[in-house]
Amino acid sequence: MEPVLEIAEGATSSDPDVGLRAVAALRALSERLEVLQVQAARELGWSWQDIAERLGVTKQTVHRKYGRRIGRR
């Protein structure tokens, strides 16, 4: 994967091919980071509600997305 700054710069490209590829790469990176941070929060004992508030979603949304993947702890 390209360095993050290079991807971010690509997102502002006037070439839609470059820009859209960069947006897709940033989306994938964001998803990976979210999984890592949700997992870290759960390991520290955070509730699904606490995590949901930080992500700006409902508790049900975050639990549905990560409950089985990360565990109930």
pLDDT (tens digit, 9 = 90+) per residue, 6-30?
Answer: 888 898 999 999 999 999 999 999 9
Answer whether residue 54 shows pLDDT above 60.
Answer: yes
What's the domain range around 32? 4-70
Number of domains in the chain: 1
**At 15, which amino acid appears?**
D
- Residue from 5, 17, 43 nearest 51 by CA: 43
Burial class, 62, CB count within 10 angstroms (exposed 0-12 / middle 13-18 / buried 19+): buried
